[in-house]
Every structure is written in C-alpha cells, then in structure tokens.
Amino acid sequence: MTARKSGFIVGAVAGAGVACAALAGVGMRMGTAAAEAPAVRTNVASAPAFAPPPGAPMSFADIFEKVSPAVVQINVTSKASPQPLRIPGFEGFDIVPRGKKAPGQGQDGDDGDTPATPKQQSAGSGFFISADGYIVTNNHVVADADDIQVVMKDGRELKATLVGRDEGTDLAVIKVVDPKAKNADFPYVNFENQAKPRVGDWVITIGNPFGLGGTATAGIISAYGRNLQDTTSQFVNYIQIDAPINRGNSGGPSFDIYGRVIGVNSAIYSPSGGSVGIGFAIPADVAEATAKQLIATGKVVRGYIGVSIQDFSAEAAEAMGLKDVKGAIVAEVVAGGPAAKAGLLPDDILVGVNGVKVADRSELTREVSKARPGEIIKMSIIRDGKPRVIDVRSGTRPSENSLAVNDDEQDQDGGGAPSPGKSANQRVDALGLTLAPIDQAARDTYKIDSEIKGLLIAGVKGDSDAGEKGLAKGDVLANINGVAVTSAAEVNAAVASAKKAGRSAVLAKIIRQNRPVFVPLKIAP
C-alpha cells in the first residue's frame, strides 16, 4: 500500500514540475542564443467543453425544478390482518401478538374490550393535475386506504380524500381537502397525448422510491404497446421505459424533456424487487381520459357487448384457411346480452370495431370499451369465411370483480335426457384422439352440461399435438373449423377436407368444464 501511495504522490509531483517548467519558459530569456532565435508561438490546447449529442439536454436540472413541485408523496394508512410472529427455534409455533380479549373473555386483569384493529402504512407517488388540488396516482396505491396524506416538496403534510378509482387501468384520483390548504393554488402539470415521443427519446421520472421523496431519474422510451399479464392489460398498452423506478414510484409521472406528462408509472419487471431497467407507464391519453371520468362521476363507464373471446392466432387462421387474418374469436355469447341480441354467434371471428382493425382480444376489448352505453358499435366479423358487419348496441361493462366471479362460476345444473346407447370408442389418428359419444354416464362423471354437444375425448396420444397442447380425457370436441361434429366419421371428414385444401392444421373447439376454448391442432401425416 505504501509503495502504491508513493507512486501516486511522485507522479503528481512530477507532473506539477513539468507544468512549472512549461510556464517558466513562457516570456523568459534563456541566454543570448535563445534571445537571437526566432520567436516560437506555443498553442496550449484546452480541454474540450462537454457537448451532448443532438437532441440530448445539457442537464435535466431545469426540467426538474420546473415540474417537481407538482409531484407529491402519498402516505396511506389502511387496515391490516394480524400476522403471527415467527421466532427462530420455534418454527412449529405461531406466536400471535397479545391483544385485548373480546367482551366476556377478559382474564388476568384484562378489561374485556375488543382487540384494536391493526393498521399498516404504505407509500406511493402522485402528481397535481389542477390548481385546486386534484392528484392522479395508481389505484393500487390508495385502493384500501382509510387515511390519505399528501407530502409536498416543501414539506407540507396535507390530508386528502379519494375521488374515484378504476381497477381496469390501475388509476385513481384523490383531492387535497386539508383546511390548512384552503384556497391554495397548487402547482400542477399537464398531460401530453399529441406529440408522442419516439422509442429512444428521453424520459424523466420523479417519485417516492422506498420513501425517498422527490427522487428524479432519467432514461429513454424503450418500447410501446407492452401488454402485462394482469387485468389492466386489456385496457392499457403500456409504455416501457428504462429510467429507474422502484417500489414507491407507483403513481408518479414520467415526463418528456419539455416537462409534459407522457405516462403514469405503474409497474416494474424485476426478479429481485428492485429496478433492473424495465419499467412500465400508463400512456398519457389513457390517464387523462380516465382522470376526467373519475373527477366527473367518481367511476369509469365502459362499453360492453357480452362475449367471451380469445385470440385468433396465426395458427388458427391457417387452420381455417384465413391466412393473414387477425382478431379475436367468439367462444361464448352471454345469453340476453348485447351481442346475443344483435346476432353475434360463437365461432364468429371479430376483426374490427367501428372501422378500426383489431389484432387480438386486448385490442378488441379496448375499442369496445371506448363506446358509451347505448351507442351502436359496428362489429366487423368473418362468419363461414365471409366478411360482414353487425351492429351491436353497447351495454355497460360490469366491474372487473363481477366479471371475474362470473368467469369462475360454473353451471352445475346437469341432467337432461340420456344420449343413445354408447358405442365403441373410435380413434382419429390424424389428431391423436380417441373419441366417444357423450352418454349420461359421461355427463355425470365429467359434469358436462346437458346442452353441450359433441364428442367426448376418451383418450389423447401423448406425443401428438393435442397431447402437447394439453387436451385431456373428459374434454369435449364440439366442432372442427366451425362445423359441429357428433361422430368420429365427421371428424375424419373435416380433417380430410382440410388436407385437401392444403392446410396443415384444423381449429378445434374444445369444451372443458363447460367453457369453450379454441385449439389449433396439427394434422399428423
């Protein structure tokens, strides 16, 4: 260590000596010979000034000073379920924190009062969108809040109340109601949904990561149109950014280099829980439209047509002879719903909404949700290989919780007249399936509703495409390429027809637990 330190010191001293010698030689006479020599001008090159590349700011400081007063820390207090304490060495026991006993159960001097409800605290971010105190944040920041406190950049702590929240986009609006801020003129920022930054453009985030309020980070727009595996993805095409965001940044804004809000930070991808440079923001146009509805009515109302759909994949399109067709395929139509009243049918392929092409079920849901209840939605569909347009009068979309419950509910009302006598199982080698008629014993065993028609899958060849895609004994094969099948002969005929048309797969409609799903199945040679 000493030698290394000496090396650095000697080098520094030597450098200083050279510099002194250079300075000493400027403007000094070094003897007669030097005086008679022609003058030599020495140009000392200065260090180049820092210059960012075109399009990059010299610093983000001016932008931060401009917009940061509008960004707030949001502290939330909510109820928490009491959790047992686990002490090392007592892994087999749950040590519950001592609380007061319920009335009539007091002992050892307890007064018999009911136990106090435990509280938990969490924190997120938000930003003012108006001078009178409206703040945008994430739904998951304030969803269970009993008390909401806003901390300003200048340190003021102000009470706020929930205005409205939307699970579908994970957005919420709160408002400052603290008497200390009566008639206050709050600093606020604006949404930018016209001049959309390009992938590679700068983005700046400000928020409250890990409780460290007023934290600024910078990066670039990494991608557009990201779908996450959650309920919000059907309404939000996320912006991906690499500006570091962490826990506590939720609800904070992402700015362009002009200080305009281009997104609301909502989620990160992280195996560790910390930033790995992959963050997601809700686009400004979605955030602004949602915030306006929440301020006006306290909730968001979306259009609804009443169908269960899944993506119409490229493999499914090839199986149906509809190359390059994209969209969503109708699995079920809600009885008595808008789609049923308009004449939409299972197996219809939905390819457009009000003249806007849709590539998958998420895009379809987003376009339908834009309609107001009662409006006519023009649904572009393909039925029996032919395009047509069906007018559907939009209903009102139920809450996401209601839809989730309905999806989980299954009709347990079996019964119905027994099917004709059971015949021998028949194999369809081209699909790797063993099929049988659906008799009453099968309906009772696999709980197949009486209205379900088709063929029972009695066996699946493990190394077939059907086996690899998860088809199983007890599933029902309802149709092939939109044509109902009730015998193995009809299935073989449908496969032969697909082969003759030069297709390598067929689209099978499978009923599992009384719910339909479409599965493209490759045809074995």
| Tokens linked to 71 | 């960004």
Residues 59 and 216 sit within 8 Å (Cβ to Cβ): no
| Tokens linked to 515 | 């719910």
Q: Is 347 exposed, middle or buried (CB count within 10 Å of its CB: 0-12, 13-18, 19+)? A: buried
Closest by Cα among 259, 220, 202 to 56: 202
SS3 letters for 139-203? HHHHCCCCEEEEECCCCCEEEEEEEEEECCCCEEEEEECCHHHCCCCCCCCCECCCCCCCCCCEE
Question: Catalytic: which of 68, 125, 140, 347?
Answer: 140
Integer angstrom CA distances of residue 306 from 284, 333, 384, 514:
28, 6, 21, 17
Q: Is 105 exposed, middle or buried (CB count within 10 Å of its CB: 0-12, 13-18, 19+)? A: exposed
Q: Is the dihedral of CA 480, 481, 483, 489 positive or negative?
A: negative
Integer angstrom CA distances of residue 493 from 484, 487, 496, 523:
12, 10, 5, 13
Backbone angles phi, psi at 131, to 5 degrees: -70, -20
145 Cβ neighbours under 8 A, 6+ residues apart: 76, 77, 78, 162
Is residue 111 flagged as an active site residue? no
Looking at residue 40, what DSSP letter applies? -
Is residue 94 flagged as an active site residue? no
Q: Is 370 exposed, middle or buried (CB count within 10 Å of its CB: 0-12, 13-18, 19+)? A: middle
Question: Catalytic: which of 68, 250, 369, 394?
Answer: 250
Is residue 140 flagged as an active site residue? yes
Looking at residue 89, what DSSP letter applies? T
Question: Catalytic: which of 125, 166, 170, 348?
Answer: 170
C-alpha span between 283 and 266 (Å, rounded): 10
304 Cβ neighbours under 8 A, 6+ residues apart: 337, 338, 368, 369, 373, 394, 395, 396, 397, 398
Looking at residue 239, what DSSP letter applies? E
Q: Is the dihedral of CA 455, 457, 463, 465 positive or negative?
A: positive
Q: Tell me if residue 450 falls in helix, strand or coil.
A: coil
Q: Tell me if residue 442 falls in helix, strand or coil.
A: helix
C-alpha span between 57 and 55 (Å, rounded): 7
| Cα 504–Cα 507–Cα 513 angle in degrees, nearest 5 | 145
Residues 114 and 99 sit within 8 Å (Cβ to Cβ): no
Query: Which residues does the annotation mark as catalytic?
Result: 140, 170, 250
